[in-house]
Amino acid sequence: MEAESEPLPLDILITNVVCVFRVRCHLDLRHIALKGANVMYKRDEGKVVMKLRRPRVTATIWSSGKIISTGATSEDEAKIGARKCARCLQKLGFQVRFGAFRVVNVLAVCSMPFEIRLPDFTKQQRPLASYEPELHPAVNFKIKPLTASMQIFSTGSITITASNVARAAQAVEHVYPLVFASRKGT
């Protein structure tokens, strides 16, 4: 990149990975609620929330067999957590078949080594960036082709939401030169 002499290592911390998968069989939520461990039964909403300890994930289970798992810190961990959840359900007696695992959403946090001038940045990135200081102190920046959106704060922290980890990394790479141009200092 023209802006820097050597590639700067930027730490992108993944804070949350959301994934969906199916167990390919109907589940009796009441049975899970009574016999399962570490579960919460939300009868009004028709779902069971199971919290696992080791990959610290929270799985939301519906009676149709569709499950959403959140809270993992990497894609692999998400898969492990999902399989653990399926195993728990298998132990409860259901004919579980793990399938259709898909990472839906990834939230990552990244911190730039410099502060950012938000009004400058917004002016340059007009339609894609939206900055309303009265509503939120960060700039909302959307990258259309990557379907990634990020919130850029004036301290230099960036929160990225993308459909998978690779895209999140690409989004950071994409936005780095733009943000570098509106940095504070020097």
Partner 1 sequence: MAATAAVTVSAPRPHPITKIHCPSHPEAVLVEDYRAGDMICPECGLVVGDRMIDVGSEWRTFSNDHVGKDPSRVGDAQNPLLNGGDLSTVIGKGTGAASFDEFGNSKYQNRRAMTSQDRAMLTAFREINTMADRINLPRNIVDRTNNLFKQVYEQRCLKGRSNDAIASACLYIACRQEGVPRTFKEICAVSRISKKEIGRCFKLILKALETSVDLITTGDFMSRFCSNLGLPKAVQIAATHIARCAVDLDLVPGRSPISVAAAAIYMASQASADKRTQKEIGDIAGVADVTIRQSYRLLYFKAAELFPPDFKFDTPVDKLPQL
Binding residues vs partner 1 (CB under 8 A):
115, 117-119, 122-123, 126-127, 130-135, 137, 153-155, 184
Identify which of residues 63 and 154 has a Cβ nearer to partner 1 in the complex: 154
- The nearer residue to partner 1, 5 or 186, going by C-beta atoms, is 186
Return the number of the residue (54 or 144) whose C-beta is nearest partner 1: 144
Residue 37 CB, nearest approach to partner 1 (Å): 39
CA 19, 23, 27, 31 dihedral sign is negative
- Closest distance to partner 1 from the beta carbon of 124 (Å): 12
CA 97 and chain centroid, separation: 25
**Min separation Cβ 154 and partner 1, Å:** 4
Q: Mind giving me the DSSP string for 110-145?
A: EE-SS-B-HHHHHHHTTTTEEE-TTT-SSEEEEETT
Taking CA atoms, 154 is separated from 71, 109, 129, in Å, by 27, 14, 14
Comparing C-alpha atoms, which of 113, 82, 77 is closest to residue 97? 82
d(CA 61, CA 85): 9
Closer to partner 1 by CB, 132 or 173: give it.
Answer: 132
Q: Give least dist CB 137 to partner 1, A.
A: 5
